[in-house]
A = this chain, B = another copy of it.
Amino acid sequence: MTKTVVIVMAMEAEAKPFVEHLQLKKDETIFLKGFKAECYAGSLDTTKVYLILNGKCHKYNVDIVGTVGGAVTTFAAIQALHPDVIINAGTCGGFKAMGGEVGSIYLCTRFLNHDRRIAIPGFDAFGVGELKTVDLNQGLLDHVGAKNGVVSTGNSLDMVKEDEHYIKLHKATCKDMEGAAVAYICDQLGVPMFALKSVTDIVDGEHPTPEEFLKNLGTAAKCLQEALPKVLSYISQNSFEA
């Protein structure tokens, strides 16, 4: 059975090696006029593959990173493409204390937000927004050579002590800027979703995050380019769910 997979990514540099590897072609017809998200379409075996980037900010001319871009892009992609599964792929910060190293690959189905503190009963849990999406097949993890991880999402590249509290509490392995937002929209609309994250920097390490991130972005993008086709070929022949 043909499956439709949508891969949501935030940064052009993260996506470029994969787009070239699969020779995906830009499709400018699918989104609302003026909307900055970009769609690259193609296939692998019998699977239809759409890679969606949030696009460049119309005002600040950088990749639209963060939860707002990730959520709106996901919503628009679900509306336009009716995918069987969404994969949020991208780079992340890892944690030495959790066994993370630069280049580690994680497949993740648990998400939370570490920068949404709302101290009103009911809203406090919504703010953290802990969410479990699917149960990944162990075969998929083995095929990709990935660990099963937990994504903690926030809109800042740094980590203030208030963020660290939630990250440690939930034993997060991946600190990113989009995962929980993509997961939330998928969960609300009933679309199966997981994340593929490649570590660019060690949050609890000795190097400043911006430097380490920029230094390792290319390596991490290459890791994604190698891991994503493995994910796609596995799920074209199997279920991704346990």
Contact = CB atoms under 8 A, between A and B. Distances in A.
Given A60-B125, A188-B34, A157 B119 contact: yes
Given A75-B76, A155-B115, A68 B181 contact: yes
A117 B181 contact: no
Interface of A: 32, 34-36, 57-68, 71-72, 75-76, 78-79, 113, 115-120, 122-123, 125-127, 129, 131, 155-158, 160, 162, 181, 184-185, 187-190, 209-210, 213-214
Given A59-B131, A60-B129, A119-B210, A155 B157 contact: no
A157 B71 contact: no
A156 B118 contact: yes
Nearest to A58: B188
B68 A67 contact: yes
B35 A189 contact: yes
29 contacts: A32-B75, A32-B78, A34-B188, A34-B189, A35-B189, A57-B126, A58-B187, A59-B129, A60-B122, A62-B123, A66-B127, A68-B181, A68-B184, A68-B185, A71-B71, A72-B72, A72-B75, A75-B75, A79-B79, A115-B115, A116-B156, A117-B156, A117-B157, A119-B157, A119-B209, A120-B210, A120-B213, A123-B157, A160-B162
B116 A158 contact: no
A181 B66 CA distance: 11
Q: How many copies does the complex hold?
A: 2
Ranked nearest first, the 4 interchain pairs of A and B with the lowest CB-CB distance are A60-B126, A117-B156, A116-B155, A68-B71
Query: A57, A60, A68, A184: which has the most chain B beta carbons within 10 Å?
Result: A68
Contact of A32 (B67, B189, B210): B189
Contacts of A67: 67-68, 155
